[in-house]
Structure 1
Amino acid sequence: MDGLSIEVLREIFLYLKDDYSTGDLFSALMVNRRWCKIIVPILWEAPFNKQNYNKHQSKCIRTYLSNAGEKLTSVLTIHDVDLSSCSKGTIFDYASYLRHLPLLELFQYIKYYFLSPSMLADPLKQPDDDSYFKNMLVFAVLCILFTKHSTYIRTLRIVNDPDLHPLNIVVAKLLNLSGATDSLSGLQYFQCHSLSKEDISPLYKEMAGICKSIIRLDINSVIRSDEEALSSLIKAQKNLKYLTIKSDEINFIPALESIGSQSSSLIRLRLESLFLDIATDEALNSIKSCKNLRSLILRNCYELESPRVLEISTSFPLLEEFYYGGCFEMPEEFISGILKTANNNLRRLTLKDYTPGVITAIITYCKNIQELYLLELDEDDILSIFRNCTQLKHFTFNGGESVKADDLFGKMANCIPKTLEYLCIFMDLKEHWVFSSEALKDFLDIATGHSFKYLTVNHRDFIDDEEEINSSLPDYATMTTFSKEHLEVIKESKINFHTHCGYMLIEYPDFITEINIPDLRETPLFRRWYHILGQSWTERLIDS
């Protein structure tokens, strides 16, 4: 591999990068100096993305402080911040490699790094009176370090937290730091999640002047003072592709009106907690103008069947993914309009409720659907989907309670889509499907003759009496769906299998809460499915 260029080697090493482990990259950087110089920047692009805060993970703070230089660290030593474990300088300029800056995670890493041994031994012990001030001082120093040294911060995530309150004071000044114009001018992903009703408009205004290349923008709270500044930030972008707007108030309207400025580039739109019937005609027309939209997510959005809003459902002929959920109402006409308009282009569909009319729309218009997530289905619905959705690859549904499934498994086997790879069935923990190992074997014999590889059965408990459940744990959580005979059939079929009782039961380490055949969490392809189990396909798209 000595003859390969740096660019080619970097692409190879990126394949070794894993969200769950960096062990392979650490091994590779020890091979020689050339590999080390290529791999170190990869390892230090996103050191704060893992949320498993602990003393070991937080040691990157020591490295950054060693990298900060005497001018910055002198501010800390004046205020008695303990830097005794830090060295004077580093071989690499680690701060220059930073590409992803989640501010809350950064602050949590700082907290854990400076925790005393007594605090680690007793998490309930109160910290020193000045520890918060010192942590905030280190936070400010590292923000200065990153904005000065990193030439290309791609991700900035701000999630409000009591530790970072008030948000506008802690963060809004970030863009005024020396070097921020250069380091943040190429920002591609910005997330702001404010849990309190505070004014973040100064931050949006500053960003509108500096950050014009944002591709993904997630705004999880809009208050009255923010609405015009947020609208300016959206309009300032040159190529916005992914947009999330969530608001529990009526202040979302200017942001929706600004969507029209991105109509040619926007491919994913996620709207949450909005009463769309109060939107202006300009706002609704802006949404309808996004003809290139590939993904539409509507969560807790209301009044979709009011005449003005209903027109949106016929606006997206190129739509490949649609998600609807979180509401008590089921806007059948709106959803049917979405499915009819998208027609054969639709590939992924998640509905947290449905009506017979929606099922009819799915089997009539969604002939090329590949990933489908639905709530409780009866036998006829399951078989109709199997017969009509012949390109289906991944199918997740709630299987209902106390279903006698021997006959159903046989019927499913006779019409299973040849493309089906992954089947996930949610069942009641105590009133699960009842089926013989022979029926399961007959189904798997036919299914594995095509493309079928993964079977997941997750249990849920719908009993309301929590006191009764808690008093009999862990025995109450014992799974009875699969016997030894069932598991032997699954092993012989060579598929990958996962089932879970629905309870974590961390306090009972010896209790079996899940069964994996083989250990699917070690299977690279399934690890992704295991990670997003229970999430919508939309979340998988957003995470990628």
Structure 2
Amino acid sequence: MKNSLPHLCLENIFLNLEQDSKTLHSCVLVNKQWSISSVPILWRDPFRLCQNLRKPEKLVPLLNTYLSFIPSYTQERLEITSKKIIGRPTIFNYPVYLRSISVVLIHGSVEYWTDSIFGADSFPLQKITPICKVLCEYFLCNSSRIDYLDLEYAANWFNIFDLDGATTSLSSIQSVIIDDQQSFPDQFENLSSVMKNARYLRLSLRNRKNVPVCKNVINLLQTQKYLKKISLFSHVSDFFQNIWDSLASSPLLHKSLTSIEIHEATFDDSSLLQLSKFYNLQHLKFYRCRNFTGDIQEIDDSSVFQNLSQLIICKIQMDSRILEFILKKSNTNLNVLEFHDHNITDFHKTVLWCIGFCKNLTRFVASIQVNQISDIILLFKECKKLEYFHIYDAKLLFEDEEEPWDEYRPPELELFNATELLEELGSCIPITMRTIKVWMNWLITIEDIEAFVSKCVNFNLNMKVIEFRHCKGFGNAHKEVIKNYLLNNKSLM
């Protein structure tokens, strides 16, 4: 049968499967046309794909494929010439499809490859960096376009701007991750000269104040005309405020920035006033920041925070007046509100602000105390567009729960009898709700779960995820009731 879909249509379809590598790989096997359209998408960022899939063994054939493109005289110099190791060049020119260079990922992949091929500790560590360097240079010279560049920790090995093809290839990058490693202090100056159209910048300030580095970072920021997203990681740096002041004083960035994330920073007293200058801000996240303060009376612009749709607060103590101010100004535009490992001194008042100003919330996450649970009912009754709801005990650490390590043991949580609450919750859950997660020590009987699920059915709720974690007496019978309900919902789709 003749395939009627042109290449451009297939490419647009496969782009929507970019995060679904399994399905995309199946598309490669359908026929020649599908293969030609899907292979370039599947091979845009294969190193990160192996990492996300948690399948490091796939790095061996991946490196074999890429190294087969390296000239034979270079292979000899690197002492990797055996055909059994590398194999033959393939049908597709895979390096041309690469859109992402992460030096630390490529270096780690080469280290895994040498351990797998030659045996652990039998291939000298000093020979790993030259292989990584050759690969990066080959990608720079042969990729049709590099969109994403991750230089974090890269200064431990080499300066990527010294490689052939760097100036030309990196001029088109859209996203950059970089730190202030002292080994190559001119890397920011190099970036400023080649990068003019960046949309995303993540900057980690790991070292003490260095005047040339600080000056070059500021120059880099102020030369970006189209920057939309920025993430600043202050760590132990003592020149974060210089960087933040340069951001807040740039009219170009006031207009272009729509997303700001700040991690582990210490502000001065004008932080709120400075933040209010970014009038197109849509996404705002604070993580473990200190001294985020300011006088609300200083801000007389009525349009401040009017476009804010996402506010995420992690592990910081924010003045309740500032929180109320931001929620009030963002008003019905705010869709996402998250408080991670954050001590909300008055959760009831926060809920009142939500139902008073932010009734269009679709996602709500909060760490709360046991005595604050009753306010959930009020939130459900008033915020009728909620799709995602997640609460967890304030004693738990969200990061530990998401990625638990082998030795992790959750703290002892206070018990709460949830019979009456579950019954009321089942009667007021918004019809839009798709996910409910409760990580608290609720006492839930099998009858409670059956009654809760029955109400979900009666009110035609189309739930996709119902999760109870750390709950007392919650066993396989409870899970089976929830599982059957979710499977029935899926069959009705």
Q: TM-score, normalised by structure 2?
A: 0.83
Is 1:268 aligned to 2:259, yes or no? yes
Is 2:179–2:206's contact at 8 Å kept on the other side of the alignment? Answer: no
Is 1:423 aligned to 2:436, yes or no? yes
> What does 1:224-303 align with in structure 2 at a 5 Å threshold?
224-225=209-210, 226-247=213-234, 248-259=236-247, 260=250, 261-277=252-268, 286-303=274-291
Q: Distance in 2 between matches of 1:46 and 1:115?
A: 22
Is 1:387 aligned to 2:373, yes or no? no
Is 1:64–1:94's contact at 8 Å kept on the other side of the alignment? Answer: yes
Q: What is the SS of the residue equivalent to 2:305?
A: coil
> What does 1:107-146 align with in structure 2 at a 5 Å threshold?
107-116=107-116, 119=119, 127-128=121-122, 131-146=124-139
Q: CA deviation at 1:67?
A: 1.3
After superposition, the C-alpha distances for 1:315-372 in whole angstroms (9 at most, x for unaligned) are 3111001011212x34211111111111111100011231323233222211111100
Q: Distance in 1 between matches of 2:34 and 2:132?
A: 32
Q: In structure 2, do the counterparts of structure 1 residues 436 and 269 end up closer, same or farther at CA, with 3 Å as the change threshold?
A: same
Is 1:444 aligned to 2:453, yes or no? yes
Is 2:442–2:472's contact at 8 Å kept on the other side of the alignment? Answer: no
> What does 1:489-500 align with in structure 2 at a 5 Å threshold?
489-492=481-484, 494-495=485-486
After superposition, the C-alpha distances for 1:430-473 in whole angstroms (9 at most, x for unaligned) are xx21133333222222233243413443535xxxxxxxxxxxxx
Q: In structure 2, do the counterparts of structure 1 residues 290 and 436 end up closer, same or farther at CA, with 3 Å as the change threshold?
A: same
Supply the AA of the counterpart residue of 1:349.
L
> What does 1:99-498 align with in structure 2 at a 5 Å threshold?
99-116=99-116, 119=119, 127-128=121-122, 131-160=124-153, 166-167=155-156, 170=158, 172=159, 174-193=160-179, 198-221=182-205, 223=207, 224-225=209-210, 226-247=213-234, 248-259=236-247, 260=250, 261-277=252-268, 286-307=274-295, 315-327=304-316, 329-351=317-339, 352-356=342-346, 357-377=349-369, 378-398=372-392, 401-427=414-440, 432-448=441-457, 449-459=459-469, 481-483=473-475, 485-492=477-484, 494-495=485-486
Structure 2 match to 1:97? 97
Q: In structure 2, do the counterparts of structure 1 residues 16 and 249 end up closer, same or farther at CA, with 3 Å as the change threshold?
A: closer
Structure 1 match to 2:45? 46
Q: What is the SS of the residue equivalent to 1:159?
A: coil
Is 1:53–1:112's contact at 8 Å kept on the other side of the alignment? Answer: no
Q: Distance in 2 between matches of 1:202 and 1:58?
A: 34
Q: Distance in 2 between matches of 1:412 and 1:242?
A: 38
Structure 1 match to 2:406? none
Q: Distance in 1 between matches of 2:116 and 2:392?
A: 48
Q: In structure 2, do the counterparts of structure 1 residues 78 and 443 end up closer, same or farther at CA, with 3 Å as the change threshold?
A: closer
Structure 2 match to 1:473? none
Q: CA deviation at 1:423?
A: 0.7
Q: What is the SS of the residue equivalent to 2:239?
A: coil
Q: Distance in 2 between matches of 1:48 and 1:289?
A: 39
Report the aligned-residue RMSD.
2.9
Q: Distance in 1 between matches of 2:301 and 2:323?
A: 7
Q: Distance in 2 between matches of 1:149 and 1:95?
A: 6
Paired residues, number: 453
Q: Distance in 1 between matches of 2:43 and 2:300?
A: 44
Q: In structure 2, do the counterparts of structure 1 residues 310 and 353 end up closer, same or farther at CA, with 3 Å as the change threshold?
A: farther
Q: What is the SS of the residue equivalent to 2:416?
A: coil
Q: CA deviation at 1:61?
A: 1.3
Identity across the alignment (%): 23
Q: In structure 2, do the counterparts of structure 1 residues 348 and 312 end up closer, same or farther at CA, with 3 Å as the change threshold?
A: farther
Q: Distance in 2 between matches of 1:312 and 1:396?
A: 35
Q: Distance in 2 between matches of 1:190 and 1:382?
A: 40
Is 2:241–2:267's contact at 8 Å kept on the other side of the alignment? Answer: no
Q: Distance in 2 between matches of 1:313 and 1:495?
A: 47
Is 1:316–1:338's contact at 8 Å kept on the other side of the alignment? Answer: yes
Q: What is the SS of the residue equivalent to 1:375?
A: strand
Q: CA deviation at 1:154?
A: 0.6
Structure 1 match to 2:11? 10
Is 1:284–1:312's contact at 8 Å kept on the other side of the alignment? Answer: no
Supply the AA of the counterpart residue of 2:214.
E
Q: CA deviation at 1:81?
A: 3.3
Q: Distance in 2 between matches of 1:79 and 1:57?
A: 19
Structure 1 match to 2:401? none
Q: In structure 2, do the counterparts of structure 1 residues 26 and 307 end up closer, same or farther at CA, with 3 Å as the change threshold?
A: closer
Q: Distance in 1 between matches of 2:191 and 2:297?
A: 32
Supply the AA of the counterpart residue of 1:26.
H
Is 2:273–2:298's contact at 8 Å kept on the other side of the alignment? Answer: no
Q: In structure 2, do the counterparts of structure 1 residues 141 and 404 end up closer, same or farther at CA, with 3 Å as the change threshold?
A: same
Q: CA deviation at 1:183?
A: 1.5
Q: CA deviation at 1:255?
A: 2.1
After superposition, the C-alpha distances for 1:218-257 in whole angstroms (9 at most, x for unaligned) are 1122542232211111122221111011113331223223
Structure 2 match to 1:536? none
Q: Distance in 2 between matches of 1:253 and 1:344?
A: 32
Q: Distance in 1 between matches of 2:366 and 2:272?
A: 28
Is 1:353–1:374's contact at 8 Å kept on the other side of the alignment? Answer: no
Supply the AA of the counterpart residue of 1:440.
I
Q: What is the SS of the residue equivalent to 2:218?
A: helix
Q: In structure 2, do the counterparts of structure 1 residues 211 and 440 end up closer, same or farther at CA, with 3 Å as the change threshold?
A: same
Q: CA deviation at 1:82?
A: 4.3
Q: In structure 2, do the counterparts of structure 1 residues 310 and 347 end up closer, same or farther at CA, with 3 Å as the change threshold?
A: farther
Structure 2 match to 1:512? none
Q: CA deviation at 1:268?
A: 0.5
Q: CA deviation at 1:216?
A: 0.8
Is 1:228–1:255's contact at 8 Å kept on the other side of the alignment? Answer: no
Supply the AA of the counterpart residue of 1:304.
F
Comparing 48-57 with 304-313, greater Cα deviation is found at: 304-313
Q: In structure 2, do the counterparts of structure 1 residues 146 and 489 end up closer, same or farther at CA, with 3 Å as the change threshold?
A: closer
After superposition, the C-alpha distances for 1:300-326 in whole angstroms (9 at most, x for unaligned) are 122223438985998311100101121
Q: What is the SS of the residue equivalent to 1:185?
A: helix
After superposition, the C-alpha distances for 1:122-165 in whole angstroms (9 at most, x for unaligned) are xxx6x13x6222211111111110111012111111232xxx5x
Structure 2: any 5+ residue segments left out of the alignment? Answer: 394-412
